[in-house]
């Protein structure tokens, strides 16, 4: 058989109008070609679909059955086309995002996730919390669409853009001698027993922060842990001091104090990372565009506040 979709549309029009002239007008074609195409369709099927007289046109039993199936087929084709268009436009599908533990605390990230979910409720957002180094391979291989990570060395397979430069902050127990200071310096913090990340965990903050401290001496790390929240918990228990990006300041504990660091270069960058060699879905492109726009808005808002102060 060589039945085309246009044959089904012609047949449905005639079956609904039960008049070849009206069906031809509805289809914007002349009547003779329409009659010819219906005959070809009947030959392809091997059954009469219409009973014709000089006065009327009616469906045969085979025609009634074929009408129901034809409508369903045309509807399925329209639905398939609509689903493909929505996927292409980024309105459906899946968005796979990797992020470090601090990413949800960043306003631009949380705002973009919330806005994107409202705008595109049919896009399934799959999030995977992992440290900076753990995201590199999945991004390179295409298992993740986007990654939110701290500054690190990336392979040539990945591209990145800074979405945030935020100050680093010191953390001390409330009874610590530095607890009531307005700020502290890196030179002071390098003298403190520190709670910090295990070097084997793979967080980008490890090299960043220790690199800053080593300009003033050799840091003494008394507790090595795998998660930032564990660091916060141990500092609040009095087991040492530490340094984390300001986004973690949203975690407030009565036993702990957050202190600004006076050194101007005590900052940490959050990057948005994606693959150079894997095509981005429209959903990923939309999310990336929205996040970068939100980050830019927050950047200008923060600088405006600083200038006002």
Instruction: Indicate if the pLDDT at residue 309 is higher than 60.
Output: no
pLDDT for 301: 67
pLDDT band at residue 67, thresholds of 50, 70 and 90?
Answer: very high
**Using CA atoms, how far apart are residues 125 and 4, in angstroms rounded to an integer?**
38
Q: What is the mean pLDDT of residues 289-309?
A: 76
Please name the residues in contact with 293: beta carbons below 8 A apart, sequence gap of 6 or more: none
What pTM did the predictor assign? 0.73
Q: What is the mean pLDDT of residues 68-92?
A: 86
pLDDT for 63: 94
* pLDDT tens per residue across span 28-63: 999 999 999 999 999 999 999 999 988 899 999 999
Output the six-digit token pair for 182.
């307005």
Q: Which domains does the chain have, with CATH numbers?
A: 5-89 (1.10.10.10), 93-153+275-307 (3.40.190.10), 164-267 (3.40.190.10)
**Using CA atoms, how far apart are residues 45 and 39, in angstroms rounded to an integer?**
10
Q: What is the DSSP string of 61-122?
A: HHHHHHHHHHHHHHHHHHHHHHHHHHHHTTSSEEEEEEE-TTGGGSHHHHHHHHHHHHH-TT
């Amino acid at each position: 058989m060589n039945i085309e979709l246009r044959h089904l549309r012609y047949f449905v029009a005639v079956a609904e109008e039960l008049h070849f002239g009206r069906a031809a007008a509805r289809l914007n074609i002349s009547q003779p070609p329409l009659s010819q195409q219906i005959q070809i369709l009947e030959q392809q099927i091997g059954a009469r679909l219409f009973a014709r007289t000089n006065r009327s046109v009616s469906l045969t039993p085979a025609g009634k059955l074929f009408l129901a199936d034809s409508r369903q087929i045309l509807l399925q084709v329209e639905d398939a086309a609509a689903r493909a268009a929505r996927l292409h436009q980024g309105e459906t599908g899946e968005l796979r995002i990797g992020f470090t533990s601090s990413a949800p605390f960043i306003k631009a990230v949380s705002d973009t996730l919330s806005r994107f979910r409202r705008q595109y409720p049919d896009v399934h957002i799959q999030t995977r919390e992992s440290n900076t180094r753990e995201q590199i391979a999945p991004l390179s291989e295409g298992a993740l669409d986007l990654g939110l990570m701290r500054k690190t060395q990336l392979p040539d397979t990945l591209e990145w853009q800074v979405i945030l430069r935020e100050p680093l902050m010191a953390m001390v127990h409330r009874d610590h001698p530095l607890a009531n200071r307005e700020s502290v310096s890196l030179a002071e913090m390098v003298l403190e027993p520190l709670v910090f990340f295990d070097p084997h965990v793979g967080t980008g903050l490890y090299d960043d922060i220790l690199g800053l401290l080593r300009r003033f001496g050799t840091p003494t790390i008394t507790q090595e842990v795998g998660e930032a929240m564990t660091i916060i918990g141990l500092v609040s228990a009095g087991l040492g001091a530490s340094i984390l990006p300001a986004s973690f300041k949203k975690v407030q504990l009565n036993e702990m104090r957050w202190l600004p660091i006076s050194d101007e270069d005590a900052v940490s960058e959050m990057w948005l990372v994606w693959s150079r060699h894997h095509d981005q879905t429209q959903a990923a492109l939309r999310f990336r565009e929205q996040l970068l726009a939100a980050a830019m808005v927050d950047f200008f808002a923060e600088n405006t506040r600083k200038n006002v102060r």
